[in-house]
A and B are shown apart, each in its own frame.
Chain A
Amino acid sequence: MGEAYSPRGLLTSRKVTSGGVISPDIAAAVSRLAREGVLAPEQTRLFGRVARGDLVSFSKAIHGLLYLGVAALTTGVGLLFRDEIANLGPITLALAVGLAAGLCLTFVARKSPPFTKAAVDAPHFAFDYVLVLGALLAAADLGFIETRFSPLGQQWAYHLLLVSLAYSALALRFDSRTLFGLGLTSFAAWRGVAATSVERAIFGFFDDTSVIRLNALGCGLLFIFVGRLMERHGLKVHFEPTATHLGWLLVLQSIAWGIADGPSAALHRLALVAVGGGLAWFSWRGARFALFVFGVLAAYLGLIVIMADAVDDATGILFLSSLSAIAVIFALASVHRRFPKEAEE
């Protein structure tokens, strides 16, 4: 860290409080644990200070300020591109923002430890914020250059692919899950935009909605595959849930899109129940809670729509809906121990 800091500070018993206690139950419990010999005096002193409010952490406020700073800066730069072209000129603007992005990424590169396939601790508490700020500024600059100077011409949508690849590369190099998620969403955005504009001729047989749906399904499957690959090769294994969760969301969403109407609505409903149910089953066996939730919700949605279509009577629909919801609650109560992280104990 390189900053002067004495860890003894956390252990002092200096009392500067205004009186009263912040967590009276915990303060009492700490005293009891000390009396019973469970806690050592140093621990008792520290935990007691925190419980009484003699020691308060400002960490959340500092991180909130960092987050606000990044959000305000990127929004400000976005508005700058829109409003100040006449005053500053496009080249000056592009260079200025590019320079700011470069400074951020240089700071990150200088602070970062060498690349490893495993997770690494951030070398600085603001590391992730500066990295994301630099990447967002660079992407905004690229977007501005594309809009203003059109270097890609008709193939303009490919700049989203470029951004996605750059985000993913930075995420892998500097171990940022936030950027990895941004990389995946930029990739999905590229598919959506490209499929309905520059690649429209390739998907000529389908209408726009079907094209987007197919691309969402393809993206979802690709993300799930990427997640599996990362897990298998031990490459940033902690990124795997981001890819898998986003992948399954896209797959389920692309199926759910077709359940309302159209000639293949019945097929989509059945597919939603089958895929959702399968996902819930396998994630229950694999103790993966988020996927279990996606699966349960998707399967239930498909089931409700099928029931509503089959019964076609308000009383029957309401009766079956309430019955099925109660059944799900009891099922949840019986399976929740399967997920140790989700269980209270």
Chain B
Amino acid sequence: MSPECSAAERAREVRDEARGWRRAGFVNEEVLRRTLSLFPDDRQRFGPGFRALAFLFAGFACLVMVGLALVLFEPRGEFALGIQLCFWAVVLAGLTELQRGPWKRADAGAESATAYASVILAVLGLVALTESLPADTRLFGTVTRTIAVLFMACAVAAWRYGDAVLFALGALSGFALLVQTGHGRILWILAGGLLIPACLKAARDARLSPSHRRGAVVVGAVAIVALYAAAHVWSLDQRLIEWAHEVNTPPAPLPFRWLSILATALLPPLFLGLGWRLRQPLLLYSGLLLIGVSIATMRLYHSILPLSLALILIGAACLGLALGMRRWLRAGDQGERDGFTADPLFDDTNRTEAIRAVVAVASFTPAAQPAASRSAFEGGGGSFGGGGATGGF
């Protein structure tokens, strides 16, 4: 990612956060205005709705244009097709660079559409090129080659554009590639075990741009799912990972089933506990979600109750847990426990007493304008300061 794009992303993150402070009523308009002027954004951006529309139309235009070129210059053979597709991939990558660079576009939809189209065409083109090679010179089967090309294209594009979808696709194709080695399960466990802490660290690395940090969270989430899936007892019993191998191997008995049962039961609470301890939302939410999956797995093997009653009990438990969790957090010392609060933080739907009280602080902000209906306090005993206050009260 270019330094200009990275700087724009950092400014954008601060500007978004400042708008969140304002929406929640933590700061007044003046503080927001000064924050936005201190962190200027030179990019042209669309809101989410326009972005979606521009993405749709740009993606449609790209694919139709390539289709038109293929109709006009009909390729003869896989090599010619591969060359044409790769040419268009390069053209669209160049167009993406143009939009993100000189045109200063970000979050505008069209640049994402051209980036995705470029990746898709690059993958199709490279696969077509490898297919054109003589059969005895091809290193792997078609599936493995396609996954490898997809992994490489997504990894390069994700790093260049910092796009979360490309990070997710890259991570998924990376794990799919590990399956093709024939030792998918063990490699998933190893890769998951290594990637999770690395991604959690990268997600907080100030040297990385915000989109790369978000990408690290996405890859971390994929790694958590992969680790759990590899250790999961049902996936082991069904040989799910082994069956995804391109070359069908005869089913062999898999060892350590008892270890897999233990992992299915213990991994989710471990994620939850670590998430609480390290205050990592990714681990926390993964833990909560996977606890549900583990309970469903237990029911799959030992059906204690009819499904209807089990669902009613689970529903009631979820409601009870939510209400209990909120009450417990709010009853903690100073309205929080271990740095966790039940309240939304910078959200305009926030209606808690805490927020209403903190809103009062906004009026004492140095840049705040005194309310018109109140006369200024002009006591001679000193001035009201704080945070570099400039006004005398």
Contact = CB atoms under 8 A, between A and B. Distances in A.
Interface of A: 1, 3-12, 14, 16-18, 20-26, 28-29, 32-44, 46-47, 49-51, 53-66, 68-80, 82-84, 121-122, 125-126, 129, 289-290, 293, 296-297, 300, 314-315, 318-319, 321-322, 325-326, 328-329, 332-333, 336, 339, 341-344
Contacts of A56: 279, 281, 339-341
B318 A314 contact: no
Interface in B350-374: 351-358, 361-362, 364-367
Given A38-B38, A318-B71, A77 B329 contact: no
Nearest to A72: B315
A44 B388 CA distance: 12
Contacts of B46: 332, 336, 342-344
Given A5-B353, A36-B38, A332-B54, A76 B310 contact: yes
Interface string B305-321: 01111111111111101
A41 B386 contact: yes
A241 to B, nearest CB: 13
Interface residues of B, number: 105
Contacts of B357: 7
Given A38-B35, A56-B339, 5 more contacts: A3-B330, A28-B206, A53-B279, A79-B311, A344-B41
B58 interface: yes
A141 B344 CA distance: 35
A325 B58 contact: yes
B27 A39 contact: yes
A39 B365 contact: yes
Nearest to A35: B388
B255 interface: no
Interface of B: 10, 13-14, 17, 21, 26-27, 31, 34-35, 38-39, 41, 45-50, 52-54, 57-58, 60-61, 64-65, 67-68, 71-72, 107, 110, 201, 203-206, 210, 277-279, 281, 284-285, 288, 292, 306-319, 321-323, 325-327, 329-336, 338-347, 351-358, 361-362, 364-367, 386-390
A40 B201 contact: no
Contacts of A41: 386-387
A336 to B, nearest CB: 5
A25 B364 contact: no
B49 A73 contact: no
B348 to A, nearest CB: 12
Nearest to A130: B319
Nearest to B206: A24
Contacts of B288: 61, 64-65
Contacts of A83: 306-308
A315 B318 contact: no
Contacts of A80: 308-309, 312
B110 A329 contact: yes
A25 B14 CA distance: 7
6 contacts: A10-B335, A23-B17, A26-B14, A37-B390, A69-B322, A83-B307
B127 to A, nearest CB: 23
Contact of A21 (B26, B47, B204): B204
Candidate in A26, A28, A51, A293 with the most chain B CB atoms within 10 angstroms: A26
B318 A38 contact: no
Contact of B325 (A11, A16, A65, A296): A65
Contacts of B64: 318, 321-322, 325
B366 A37 contact: yes
A126 B322 contact: yes
Contacts of A14: 339
A73 B347 CA distance: 29
B61 A329 contact: yes
